[in-house]
Amino acid sequence: MRRTGFTLGFAALAIVLIMMAGRTKSFGATAVQDKPATEVKIDNFVFAPNPVTVPAGTTIRWTNRDDIPHNVVAEDKSFKSKVMDTDESFTYTFSKPGTYIYFCSIHPRMTGKVVVQ
């Protein structure tokens, strides 16, 4: 009897472990979400890719790869990042559909667009 109980318990544990393995989330993500963040790189005073079109609920992560600091500021003031020095990032989750124009307020000729569907 004991052995059967032991085997059953072991099987149950194995099933739970297998189920968990299939749903592992990566640690260190800045937001717990079903989809990974959409990456926008900042380099040579340019946002790339630009424009980006994403479904509502998407998080965008801007990472500054330039050797000069930049930031991102929404024209409609819906988001505004701190200044990002080289290799720093900023994330924002777009929950509402719409077209969002943003720019670097330090170098305002740098503009970008996010279309949220």
Partner 1 sequence: MSKKKNDVILHDHNHDGIDRRGFLKCMAWAGTGAFCVMQGGVLKSYSLSRLAELSQKQTKGELSFVQISDSHMGFNKAANPDVVATLKAAVDKINALPTKPSFILHTGDISHLSRPEEFDSVEQILKDASAKDVFYVPGEHDVIGDDGKQYLERYGKESQGAGWYSFNHSGVHFIGLVNALNLKAGGLGSLGQEQLEWMEKDVKHLSKSTPIVVFAHIPLWSIYPEWGWGTDDSAQALGYLKKFGSVTVLNGHIHQTMQKVEGNVVFHTAASTAFPQPKPGEGPSPGPMKVPAEQLRSLLGVRDVNYLPGKRALAVIDSTLE
Residue 66 interacting with partner 1 (CB under 8 A): yes
Q: And the tokens for 84?
A: 């990002």
Name which of 37 and 112 has its Cβ closer to partner 1.
Answer: 112
**Number of other residues whose CB lies within 10 A of the CB of residue 94:** 22
Residue 69 interacting with partner 1 (CB under 8 A): yes
Name which of 37 and 66 has its Cβ closer to partner 1.
Answer: 66
Alpha carbon separation from 24 to 12, 21, 34, 79 (Å, rounded) = 19, 5, 11, 31
Residue 50 interacting with partner 1 (CB under 8 A): no
Please choose, out of 1-9, 10-18, 21-29, 40-48, the segment that lies near partner 1 by the rule CB under 8 A.
40-48
Q: 32 near 10, Cβ under 8 Å?
A: no
By C-alpha distance, which of 72, 16, 17 is closest to 41? 72
Residue 71 interacting with partner 1 (CB under 8 A): yes
Site string for partner 1, 75-104 (x = CB under 8 A): x------xx-xx--------------xxx-
The residue behind tokens 């991102």 is 72
Residue 39 interacting with partner 1 (CB under 8 A): no
